[in-house]
Amino acid sequence: MTTLIVIAKECLPGRVKTRLHPPLSLEQAASLAAASLDDTLDAVAALRATRRVLAFDGQIPPAAASGYDVVPQVAGGLDARLGAIFDGCSEPALLIGMDTPQVTAELLAPVFSDWPDDVDAWFGPAADGGFWALALRHPNGDLIRGVPMSRDDTGERQLARLRAAGLRVRLLPTLTDVDHIDDAHTVAELAPDGRFAATLAGFGALQLSEVI
In whole angstroms, what is the distance from residue 27 CA to residue 116 CA? Answer: 44
The whole-number pLDDT of residue 204 equals 81
Q: What are phi and psi of 107, to 5 degrees?
A: -60, -35
Residue 212 reports pLDDT greater than 70? no
Could you tell me the CA-to-CA distances from 130 to 14, 39, 97, 174 in Å, in that order? Answer: 23, 20, 11, 10
Query: What's the pTM?
Result: 0.94
Which secondary-structure segment (H or E) carries 170?
strand 169-171
Side by side, the strands of the sheet bearing 3-9 are 69-72, 51-57, 3-9, 93-96, 131-136, 121-125, 169-171
Query: What confidence tier does 209 reach under pLDDT thresholds 50, 70, 90?
Result: very low
Section 78-84 average pLDDT: 98
H/E stretch holding 31: helix 26-44
Domains of the chain: 3-210 (3.90.550.10)
Contact 6, 55 (CB under 8 A): yes
pLDDT at 102: 98
Question: What's the pLDDT band for 211 if we cut at 50, 70, 90?
Answer: very low
**For 121-179, how does the pLDDT look when each residue is reduced to its tens digit (9 = 90+)?**
999 999 999 999 999 999 999 999 999 999 999 999 999 999 999 999 999 999 999 99
Report which residue type is found at 182.
Answer: D
- Which residues, 6+ apart, have CB-to-CB distance to 108 below 8 Å? 44, 47, 94, 96, 133, 172
